[in-house]
Amino acid sequence: MSRFRHEQYCAAIVEQTELLRSLIEGADLTVDVPSCPGWNVGQLLRHLGGAQRWAEEVVRTRAAGPVPDAHFRDLSAYTHEDPAVVGPWLVEGAGRLARTLREAGPDAPLWTPVPDGTPAFYARRFTHETAVHRADATLALGAEYALDEAVAADAMDEWMELGSLPFHFEVHPWMRELLGEGRTIQLLATDAESEGGPAWLVDLTGETITWRRAPEKAAVTVRGPLTELLLAVYKRRPVPGERLEVLGDAKLLDFWLERVSFG
């Protein structure tokens, strides 16, 4: 269940993009992005802006199926981007997406990559897609990344929800290998007092992947700041690391991170 109203997500997409535009002012966009191998910062920005425009088209046209997305996946033409050009382009695309989402409202039927899609999916997804790619650019440029606690907690909830959808077992049968007796994983935020508590418990002991918001004893626990935990599940930070501590079955944690990922 999402934490924010539809309008709040629309505003957050624009806010996260504005923060990204401010970050890249005067920056060298040819710097490689370690968390997105094969891309430099300029290519990352073109990917994000292209994806935002793609989502805007899906929502605006009420698409009943996938629309072409090659324009933000083939990034070979964007190796030497100018921040004075790409920054305003990013902001314009984010604004267009937010306006289209507002006009559509949260409940209109349309295609999404997951079952039972509506514009609400894209509003939430692109809030967090933008926030995580802002982290990619921030870390690549050697700056300190910060994310509002409520946004970070909702991003973690979304990651848990999407990562535990049953259809994954049909698309990626090897994910069933995660399930087993005693397999529980806790992500414990040491700096958060967010609604629902500071901990996420992933339960792999049943026939499906489930999760809940509760501090509990687990086979393995990762402790650290909330934003660092979020970057870890997105594979933007190593675990364990400078700010993240692992207690318990580290091999189970590695196995889970290997098999459940997106974004």
Contact 232, 156 (CB under 8 A): no
Eight-class DSSP state of 211: E
pLDDT for position 240: 92
Specify which residues 223 forms β-bridges with.
188, 245
Amino acid at 90: L
Of 158, 76, 166, 67, which Cα lies nearest the Cα of 115? 166
Q: Tell me which of 128-132, 145-149, 161-165 is least confident.
A: 161-165
pLDDT for position 169: 81
Domain span holding position 174: 162-259
Instruction: Tell me: do 140 and 181 sit in the same domain.
Output: no
pLDDT for position 136: 98
pLDDT > 60? residue 263: no
Instruction: Tell me: do 133 and 170 sit in the same domain.
Output: no
Domain count for the chain: 2
Q: How confident is the model at residue 203 (pLDDT cuts 50, 70, 90)?
A: very high
Q: How confident is the model at residue 194 (pLDDT cuts 50, 70, 90)?
A: low
Instruction: Tell me: do 84 and 11 sit in the same domain.
Output: yes
Q: Would you say residue 152 lies in a domain?
A: no
Residues 17-37 have a mean pLDDT of 97
Q: Largest alpha-carbon pair distance within the chain?
A: 54
Mean pLDDT of the chain: 94
Residues 28-45 have a mean pLDDT of 97
Q: Would you say residue 31 lies in a domain?
A: yes
Instruction: Tell me: do 119 and 189 sit in the same domain.
Output: no
Q: Would you say residue 127 lies in a domain?
A: yes
Instruction: Tell me: do 131 and 221 sit in the same domain.
Output: no
Q: Chain centroid to CA 182: how far?
A: 28
Q: Would you say residue 157 lies in a domain?
A: no
What strands, in cross-sheet order, belong to the sheet with 210-212? 210-212, 199-203, 184-189, 220-224, 245-248
Task: Kindly report, residue by residue over 167-183, the tens digit of the pLDDT.
Answer: 888 888 888 999 999 99
How many helices (H) does the chain have, and how many strands (E)? Answer: 8, 5
Q: Whole-model pTM?
A: 0.94
Task: Kindly report, residue by residue over 214-241, the tens digit of the pLDDT.
Answer: 899 999 999 999 999 999 999 999 999 8
What is the share, in percent, of the chain residues with pLDDT greater than 70? 96
Dihedral sign computed on CA atoms, order 56, 61, 67, 68? negative
Instruction: Tell me: do 115 and 36 sit in the same domain.
Output: yes
Q: Which of 86, 118, 146 is the last residue of a domain?
A: 146
Q: Would you say residue 239 lies in a domain?
A: yes
Q: Would you say residue 156 lies in a domain?
A: no
Q: Which of 121, 146, 171 is the last residue of a domain?
A: 146
Q: Would you say residue 138 lies in a domain?
A: yes
